[in-house]
Amino acid sequence: MIENSSLYKKLTDRTAQVAILGLGYVGLPLATVMAEAGYNVIGIDPDQSKVDALNQGISYIDDVETTLVDQLVKAGKIRATMDFAVVKEADAVSICVPTPLRKTRDPDLSYIISVADSIAPYIHADMVVVLESTTYPGTTRELLLPKLLESVDLQVGEDFFLAFSPERVDPGREDWTTKNTPKVVGGITQHCTKMASKFYQGAMDTVVPVSTTEIAEMTKLLENTFRMVNIGLVNEIAIMCDRMGINVWDVIDAAATKPFGFMKFTPGPGLGGHCIPIDPLFLSWKLRSLNYTARFIDLASEINTGMPRYVLGKVQEALNDQGKALRGSRVLVLGVAYKPDIDDLRESPALDVIGLLQQGGVVVKYHDPFIPKIDDYDLDMSCVDNLMQEVKDADCVVIITNHSQYDFQEIYQSAQSIMDARNALGKIAAGDPKVVGL
């Protein structure tokens, strides 16, 4: 009975030593939740600046308050290091590293492989390891398990426990957080599921055990494929409505009054964030290896990735209405984060829109209260200082991210023309020809 094991008892009374591998948008919130629950937490990250900040009690993630990190550090509940050797002291390990796509649109699992190679020498009996990084079904069993146990003689499900639990972080949300979002957990064996569930039950409000790692892996992909496909649908509906001269936002609001059988999604300039644009493509790639085409995913991806170019066409339309050409015009992009009120640029459609505008010979500037500088993604730009002066000077203002800090009434009154990709102006600009929407 695993309930009688020393590891199970440590997890039950929260005396277990926890190691969190990767201290980014997923790992740092998880580390603080575990530390708040009473676990002693060691965070491991190859980025010296993150390690130094955490050890000084400073948060570099908006969703985690510096005051909380400072309290936990001073209480001795959390610390950080770059040394993977501390895993030999750990009873529970959570892997929270990135899983991007390569330029060829296939999964890049190099971070998972690197972490597995780094901790394999320190794997020991009475340890539970959980992978949280989003990936395709089969990764935990077929890739991670052999790597972790290649140099030790341990029996999975008896001596050592391995599971997958998908991260469900949505940056900027305050209603659903790491602590109260239900935690799906699936193990290599039933004992693995039980041990990993006990680990999370010590800190999370709700734990949802499933029977296999593959089910847990597929759960995350279903969640984000559902969103990606529905966003692709509503983006195409927006294009259809534009062709027919119908206001798509009025259509969506009317449809949303139905109390059953409809879920509201809204169109936009493209997909952003680490999850929705990327995760479904893990599934599409996996299915291609099984000689199956994930048609919904591929079509939705095609529509969504085409939205920045559609926005470019709408900007050109707005400029044409003023008798101005695209080339040489001055355009101000409002908001470059991938969603409102956060500082996350990952996969932001604003980056593609800016790139397309520049290719068209446009003089592009941007403003975003959360992102002072863009020095990656083949761009080198700084946020303009005087927002309203730039709004007045621009030939067209393009609203990509509708941050709550923006006074859209003032922006509307001051701008020469506007391309509103988020319906941020709403009824303010109804019928005004100087405003072009999706």
Strand 381-382, strand 396-399: pairing? unpaired
Is 192 among the catalytic positions? Answer: no
CA distance 227 to 437: 22
Q: For the purposes of burial, counting CB atoms within 10 Å of the CB of 24, is it exposed (0-12), middle (13-18) or buried (19 or more)?
A: middle
Label residues 351-378 b or e (16+ Cβ within 10 Å = b). bbbbbbbeebebebbbbbebbeebeebe
Structural element, H or E, at residue 209: strand 207-210
Q: Quick check: helix, strand or coil at residue 24?
A: coil
Q: Are 39 and 14 in contact (CB under 8 A)?
A: yes
Q: For the purposes of burial, counting CB atoms within 10 Å of the CB of 315, is it exposed (0-12), middle (13-18) or buried (19 or more)?
A: buried
| 79: β partners | 42
Q: Quick check: helix, strand or coil at residue 392?
A: helix
CA terminus-to-terminus distance, the chain: 60
Give Cβ neighbours of residue 95 (< 8 Å, ≥ 6 apart).
21, 22, 112, 115, 129, 130, 131, 132, 133
Q: For the purposes of burial, counting CB atoms within 10 Å of the CB of 75, is it exposed (0-12), middle (13-18) or buried (19 or more)?
A: exposed
CA distance 220 to 334: 32
Query: What token pair was written down for 108?
Result: 């890049």
Candidates 96, 192, 241, 275; catalytic one: 275
Q: For the purposes of burial, counting CB atoms within 10 Å of the CB of 427, is it exposed (0-12), middle (13-18) or buried (19 or more)?
A: exposed
Residue where the block lists tokens 């505008």: 357
- Rounding to the nearest 10 degrees, give the CA dihedral for residues 120, 121, 127, 130: -20
- Catalytic machinery residues: 275
